[in-house]
Amino acid sequence: MITLKKNIVPAFKKDIESSITLLKRIKSELYISSGHVCCKGIPVDFGFEAIVRYKDMSNLLALQENLKQCEGFQLSLHAPLNHDNPETVDLTTSQGFGVLEQLVEFCDKQGIPIIATHPNALRQASYFSLEYSRQHQQEKLGQVISAVQKLNQMSGKTQVCLENKPYPATDANFEGILYSPVAASFPQLLELRNAGIPLCFDTAHYATTRATANSMLAPAELKEGGLGIEKTIAPLQGFFLEDCVSHPEIPDVLVQLGDAVKEIHHNDAVHYKCVEGSVTYWERLVPGRGSLVNNSDVSAFIKSKKDLPVVLEVYETDYANNPNSYLAFRNLLIELSR
């Protein structure tokens, strides 16, 4: 069963209401009967991924009440988010871990099967001092792995899935630049797979990281005789030569990650601007509307799985009518039915 989901912010009742209207429209226009069968006989269900912000944590009972509107739809959580101060939700700290622990308990009680979470706080360039090394990076990755394993051991039926991050990323205002040194590069994703970590694979995040890492291959290969290859990758704060291997295309990396992928966040990205010597991207675009991701990148993998949620993470400006989400759902369903 393929489950296609839309992001909602359950703190806002109107967002839930307009999103339910959207999914009903899609079912009606694309001839989906009972919410379970789309054209050409591909089993499809629909649902929502609720975004829980850090400031919502003190009012989970209100979110619980609002989510009752989604009865009949599959639910998952994307949490916790705090763009203003990512340090508060870094799961390798006691504070960040405690927030996730609280959300696991909440989801267990509500019967919500998946929490997609970020690995650790995005960092400013100043975080990476001259002493920052590959060893520091690997230690941080190990802490992330341990935290996710511990959360999943203490949960009931809820599974905490680690989302891969873009490298680099922009800040909340899309102006500054941020770096996530773990759970971004292809070698790190393989390490997470080998450690048994459930993954939420974000297509735009991976495509951004791939574009960044692959752009370093040519200048790195031109260096001869060990003439300071570290200087070539110095602008990539927190990344090292081991991260800048050739990154496969999305269809290939999905096959290699295999059953470790428990959910997909599907969206596109486009080159935005250069900051501090690195290219940044604007993400959450309708797949095919940017320059990095298409529906054909994920369709074969999605159809090969019996039970895979796919969240269409699309940026909206008209939240009453959700035109971008409509286009994203429509185009993906057409691709899946081919």
pLDDT of residue 222: 53
Return the percentage of the chain with pLDDT > 70, whole number: 91
Q: Which of 45, 63, 34, 241 is nearest to 137 (CA)?
A: 241
Picking from 49-63, 163-177, 209-223, which range would have the lowest pLDDT averaged per residue?
209-223
pLDDT at 5 over 50: yes
The dihedrals phi and psi of 277, each to the nearest 5 degrees, come to: 85, 0
Instruction: Give the 3-state secondary structure percentages of the chain, helix then strand then coil, rounded to 5.
Output: 45, 20, 35
Band the pLDDT of 229: cuts 50, 70, 90: very low
Task: Tell me the angle at which helices 134-154 and 186-194 cross, rounded to the nearest 10 degrees.
Answer: 40
pLDDT at 242 over 90: no
**Could you tell me the two tokens for 253?**
């990396």
Model pLDDT for residues 92-107, shown as the tens digit of each residue: 999 999 999 999 999 9
Which is more confidently placed, 13 or 244?
13
Taking the model in full, what pTM does it have?
A: 0.93
Average pLDDT, the chain: 89
Instruction: Report the SS3 class of residue 84.
Output: coil
Q: Which of 87, 98, 148, 149 is nearest to 120 (CA)?
A: 87
Q: State the burial class of residue 323 (Cβ atoms within 10 Å of its Cβ: 0-12, 13-18, 19+).
A: middle
Q: State the burial class of residue 247 (Cβ atoms within 10 Å of its Cβ: 0-12, 13-18, 19+).
A: buried
The dihedrals phi and psi of 221, each to the nearest 5 degrees, come to: -70, -25
Cβ contacts of 128 within 8 Å, gap of 6 or more: 179, 181, 237, 238
pLDDT of residue 278: 80
Q: Are 104 and 60 in contact (CB under 8 A)?
A: no
Q: Which CATH superfamily is domain 2-336 in?
A: Divalent-metal-dependent TIM barrel enzymes (3.20.20.150)
Model pLDDT for residues 283-333, shown as the tens digit of each residue: 999 999 999 999 999 999 999 987 899 999 999 999 999 999 999 999 999
**β partners of residue 48:** 6, 75
Residue with tokens 């993954």: 199
Model pLDDT for residues 123-169, shown as the tens digit of each residue: 888 888 778 889 999 999 999 999 999 999 998 899 999 999 999 98
Model pLDDT for residues 19-46, shown as the tens digit of each residue: 999 999 988 887 555 444 454 567 788 9
**β partners of residue 310:** 4, 264
pLDDT of residue 218: 59
